Amino acid sequence: MPVLPELLAANQTYAAGFAKGDLPMPPARKVAVLTCMDARIDPAKALGLEEGDAHVIRNAGGLAAEAIRSLAISQELLGTREIVVVHHTDCGMLTFTDEVIRGRLAASLGEEAGAAAAGMAFLPFADVEESVRRDVAAIAASPLIRPDTAVAGFVYDVKTGRLTPVE
Ligand SMILES: [Zn+2]
């Protein structure tokens, strides 16, 4: 059973009580959060964010490599000035290699997928703290990010909901 009907029903309820239609586009708290797409992380709840407060950029791993475009837009056009990078324990990105996912895509989707996957870096990593350090450094070093930006990095523990800073 597809889940879409349930999503649409939930949206009806949400929209019926919606009272935040007049928020300005620029995030009120001038912060962009970069984190993993992991279903166990709710950045709004975990960080106390309301609608209109922040940009939340998500991808597999919460990786800077895919986020510089969004962060540059966030800063230059929408005025954010702080960046918070949050990777997490038990991340799916720790569980495979490029070879593994390329092989699986080729096996499940066929030759064309295999060829497409061969040219793609899926960016798995072996150490969460190290990936945070690398991404904080990559963001700070990007010419598209304002040099005065405070970039902070954390590991979120999916067992406790707690953030631990990465120095
Ligand atoms: Zn993850």
Is residue 92 within 8 A of residue 161, CB to CB? The reply is: no
CA of 43 to the centre of ligand 1 (A): 13
Burial of 54 (0-12, 13-18, 19+ CB in 10 A): buried
CA of 94 to the centre of ligand 1 (A): 8
Cα 48 from Cα 50, distance rounded (Å): 7
Average pLDDT, the chain: 97
The token pair that represents 2 in the structure block: 């597809």
CA of 111 to the centre of ligand 1 (A): 28
Check pLDDT > 90 for residue 1: no
pLDDT for the residue 3:
98
Mean pLDDT score, 100-122 = 97
CA of 64 to the centre of ligand 1 (A): 13
CA of 20 to the centre of ligand 1 (A): 30
pLDDT above 90 coverage of the chain, percent = 99
pLDDT band with cut points at 50, 70 and 90 for residue 104: very high
pLDDT per residue as tens digits for the range 18-29: 999 999 999 999
User: Smallest Cα–Cα separation from 153: which of 94, 89, 83, 105?
Assistant: 83
CATH topology of domain 31-91+124-165: Beta-carbonic Anhydrase; Chain A (3.40.1050)
pLDDT for the residue 141:
97
Annotate 82-145 with DSSP letters as a single string: EEEEEEETT-GGGS--HHHHHHHHHHHH-HHHHHHHHT------S-HHHHHHHHHHHHHH-TTS
The token pair that represents 149 in the structure block: 């930006």
Q: Between β-strands 150-156 and 163-165, what pairing exists: parallel, antiparallel or unpaired?
A: antiparallel
CA of 17 to the centre of ligand 1 (A): 32
**Any idea where the domains of the chain sit in the sequence?**
31-91+124-165
CA of 161 to the centre of ligand 1 (A): 14
